[in-house]
Amino acid sequence: MEYPIAKGVFDILPVDPDPNGKWRESHLWHYLETQIRELASKYGYREMRTPLFELSALFTRSIGKESDIVSKEMYTFEDKGGRKLALRPEGTAPAMRAFIEKGLHQIPSARKFFYMAPMFRYERQQAGRYRQHHQFGIEALGCSGPEQDVEVIDLLYTLLKRLGLNHLTLHLNSIGEGATRERYNQALCDFLTPHLAHLSKESQERFHTNRLRILDSKDAGDQSILQHAPRITDFLDEASQQHFESVQRLLSDIGIPYRLNPFLVRGLDYYNRTVFEVTVEGIGSQNSLGGGGRYDGLLKELHGPDLPACGFGAGLERILQALLLQKIPFPEPERPQLFLIALGEGAKQRCFKLMTQLRHKGLFVEMELTGKKLKAALRFADELKARFVVIMGEEELQSGRIELKEMETGIGKTIVIDELGGAFDIK
């Protein structure tokens, strides 16, 4: 094809002929999006929609200059006015920007937000990583207590469980405050220095730029070195330690299992204290369905009010892939209640009018208009899983009666054309 789709992105279509592409079918997205909207609103989160692009400095300042997202993955461009912009790689920074800009801290009811939106990252191509992915994210502002962390975690975990997913692991860690991370960074430096030559190339680079991220390394050699590395949780200040313990207690209270993972640091700089991720087995190395944590300093960093905050982002692609992998049934797409087949020009006109009238009254009606012969038209009605079919020819036009036939049973019933709506409880 001369103009194929760009690399690392995908179309969401009503059907995808690729046997591995079912997760890209739009009815699955609609189902997931509906479940998300319903649950988010029950937890008191309301939707926020921000533009696809922002000033790139917003992301540099929030996510961190040395993060992979900012240093390697951002789609940046200059507009005709010379402004440096970026397609948003994530949703937290834009949400904070909007919150500050509109002075929403003055409106007590405007403190819990969700979004469902595409994000853009120039990723190395691999399964589970897309250059445009879709995130469901929530951000809760203004509450510093551990209950807030747990509400946020619970929403993500409950969503995934409600969808029917199994084999989930909630990884939990605390990275404390800035001073903890500084002391820990030094301890990690002391520990890793003698092993530096044996670390993977990527980790060697990160040693100088973003040391904590070495803990995330998937390299087996790095992992065996890291086994004996100091743990950040041994460096927590008293208040962070207490907060972390409360989060764990509350999670246990509400029956959410978790695994303490001292190596979980997350790839964005704005976090403090609680960080978490939910992974699922079986979808490959990119197995994080969602992750987030507390980011108490970000609003202030962006010159907004000094308010604590907490949230997560979850990838819709990965959730759908996991659901399909675990063979969790999805509701069927809506099927037509009635399929009309007209034989001849007069019948076609009558059927078209009938279809339009019934549609206007709320019925899902389809009609064969592409010139298919009767047999093919019936096959098509079957493929659409239409509940009833009507075949209208000269004879039916003359008599003013048609046969309404149930596709599944083959049982037919003769009806006056003008009373067809009545069969569907439509006046």
Give whichever of 137 and 142 is closer to ligand HAM, judged by the CB atom. Answer: 137
Residue 235 binds ligand HAM (CB under 6 A): no
Long-range CB pairs of 19-28 (<8 Å, 24+ gap) are 22/324, 23/317, 23/320, 23/321, 23/323, 23/324, 27/330, 27/333, 28/320, 28/323, 28/330
Please count the residues of this chain forming the interface with ligand HAM, following the rule CB under 6 A: 27
Query: Of residues 255-274, which lie at the interface with ligand HAM (CB under 6 A)?
Result: 267-268
Residue 315 binds ligand HAM (CB under 6 A): yes
Among 94, 176, 291, 304, binds ligand HAM (CB under 6 A): 291
DSSP 47-113: E----SEEEHHHHHHHH-TTSHIIIII--EEE-TT--EEEE-S-SHHHHHHHHHHTTGGGSTT--EE
Q: Which residues contact 291 (CB under 8 A, 6 or more apart)?
A: 266, 275, 276, 277, 278, 312, 313, 314
Work out how close the CB of 133 gets to ligand HAM at its nearest, in angstroms, rounded to a whole number.
3
Tell me which stretch binds ligand HAM (CB under 6 A): 75-83, 89-97, 104-112, 253-261.
89-97
User: 273 near 173, Cβ under 8 Å?
Assistant: no
Residue 289 binds ligand HAM (CB under 6 A): yes
User: 176 near 240, Cβ under 8 Å?
Assistant: yes
Among 112, 129, 243, 387, binds ligand HAM (CB under 6 A): 129
Neighbours of 415 (CB within 10 A): 17
Residue 92 binds ligand HAM (CB under 6 A): yes
Residue 312 binds ligand HAM (CB under 6 A): yes
Instruction: List the x/- string, 93-122, binding to ligand HAM by CB under 6 A.
Output: ----------------------------x-
Place of tokens 């040693």: 207
Give whichever of 88 and 387 is closer to ligand HAM, judged by the CB atom. Answer: 88
Give whichever of 92 and 377 is closer to ligand HAM, judged by the CB atom. Answer: 92
Among 28, 314, 320, 351, binds ligand HAM (CB under 6 A): 314
Residue 317 binds ligand HAM (CB under 6 A): yes
Place of tokens 């020009």: 345
Q: Site residues (CB under 6 A) for ligand HAM?
A: 90-92, 121, 123, 128-130, 133, 135, 137, 139, 267-268, 288-292, 295, 311-315, 317-318
